[in-house]
Structure 1
Amino acid sequence: MSAFLAFISYFAAALALLAVFVVAYVHLTPYKEFELISRNNQAAAISLSGAILGFTFPLLSSIYYTQSLPEMALWAAITGVVQFAVFLLMRSRAAQIEAGDTAPASLLATLSVAVGLINALCISH
């Protein structure tokens, strides 16, 4: 029963942290991702998907390597800041993404995932 409670605790915390990240991320960007995605804007979907994956990989690592929920949450906050920094680096391409241009969205998504993977591995040390 103890393992099940730990699972539920970490799973619920991870989902809540992911939700907080997504809400914060879509407020950081100058365009409305979900509105654009509902209008079939592939670029918005690509860039948001990359950010979500770039956040999730380190979140998975923090679940595996940390010893407590507060420590996991701290790493999630750090990971969120790193993902925001990736977007800010590419912010000059925001208008193109909003217009539906998939090339800058693909680059942003790739950078988000790459930095997220590096972040995830660094948590293990």
Structure 2
Amino acid sequence: MNLNFEAFATGAGHFLVAFGLAALFLAVFKRLYQMSTPYDEAKLIGQGNVAASVALGGAIIGFALPLASALTQTADPVEFAAWGLLAGVIQILASLLVRRVIVRDMVERIEANNVASAVYLAATSIGVGLLNAASMTY
């Protein structure tokens, strides 16, 4: 079995662009998500707050799922960016809905290291991410 270097080089170039763009989107989403929360995840996680870590981890996974789906649905970086932007907005809105409407004291719960509440928030983020990802097929 011989390696077709030209095909690999072309594929590797596409991989690097897609992976780099997805990693950038994930980093920007993480920052925007943290800005959308009234608590300081970095500080809480640094203090050993498992609830903050679980909630943030769920948000990251919840956003990575539709990014992965978008990568499989388009090879166009602009279209990928549009899907990523839409998915990020939906993820942040879902989190805001949970924190402000469904569990109004979620902030206090996360700050008090209530892991059960964090798991609920993380599960919601992952669930919304799965629906986001599945909805990108057309």
Q: 2:108 aligns with which of 92, 95, 113?
A: 95
Q: 1:18 aligns with which of 15, 26, 36?
A: 26
Q: 1:49 aligns with which of 57, 62, 74?
A: 57
Give the SS at the match of 1:100.
coil
Give the SS at the match of 2:71.
helix
Cα deviation for residue 67 of structure 1 reads 3.0
1:29-48 aligned within 5 A = 29-48=37-56
Which letter does structure 1 place at the counterpart of 2:110?
Answer: I
Which letter does structure 2 place at the counterpart of 1:29?
Answer: T
1:5 pairs with 2:13: yes
1:40-119 aligned within 5 A = 40-91=48-99, 92=104, 93-119=106-132
Residues 54-88 of structure 1, C-alpha deviation per residue, up to 9 Å, x if partnerless?
00000000000013011111111111111111111
Give the SS at the match of 1:77.
helix
**Displaced runs of 4 or more, over 3 A:** none
Which letter does structure 1 place at the counterpart of 2:135?
Answer: C
Give the SS at the match of 2:75.
coil
Pick the structure with greater CA Rg: 2
Aligned length, in residue pairs: 125
Gaps of 5+ in 1: none
Cα distance in 2 for partners of 1:110, 1:83 equals: 12
Give the SS at the match of 2:96.
helix
- Tell me the TM-score normalised to structure 1 length: 0.96
- Tell me the TM-score normalised to structure 2 length: 0.88
Residues 9-54 of structure 1, C-alpha deviation per residue, up to 9 Å, x if partnerless?
0011010000000010001100010110111101000100110000
* CA RMSD, 1 decimal: 0.8
Cα deviation for residue 102 of structure 1 reads 1.0
Aligned-residue sequence identity (percent) comes to 39
